[in-house]
């Protein structure tokens, strides 16, 4: 799914942890691009089970998690939208 797809759910307030900000700055990652992918339903580097869980969660107002970068990548980023859609956080898995 491309980043030009329509937004499937509200992101709420956008926040990022210090670790995520450092990784994005160091690697030249555009936070807006990650957020657009997440909101469009491009869940990134999740397994099929987790992707199905996100699809279920979109319409049931449950928490949604996307992951960008493989599990062994120390710079892997998560994007989490809370169930009530009040906030979306960019973070490192270790910061969860």
pLDDT, residue 91, reads: 98
d(CA 44, CA 58): 15
Residue that the structure tokens 């936070």 belong to = 31
Residue 3 within a domain: no
Residue 76 within a domain: yes
pLDDT, residue 92, reads: 98
* Residues in the chain where the model's pLDDT stays below 50: 1-3
CA dihedral 68, 6, 51, 29 (to 10 degrees): 0
- pTM (2 d.p.): 0.93
pLDDT, residue 40, reads: 98
pLDDT, residue 96, reads: 93
Residue 54 within a domain: yes
Q: Domain range for residue 81?
A: 13-95
pLDDT, residue 78, reads: 98
Domain count, the chain: 1
**Under a CB-based contact definition with an 8 Å cutoff, are residues 64 and 53 in contact?**
no
């Amino acid at each position: 799914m491309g980043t030009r797809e329509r937004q499937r759910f509200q992101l709420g307030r956008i926040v990022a942890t210090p670790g995520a900000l450092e990784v994005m700055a160091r690697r030249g990652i555009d936070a807006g691009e990650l957020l657009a992918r997440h909101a469009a339903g491009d869940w990134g580097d999740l397994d099929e089970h987790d992707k199905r869980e996100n699809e279920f969660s979109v319409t049931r107002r449950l928490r949604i998690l996307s992951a960008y970068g493989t599990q062994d990548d120390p710079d892997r980023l998560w994007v989490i939208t809370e169930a009530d859609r009040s906030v979306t956080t960019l973070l490192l898995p270790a910061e969860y």
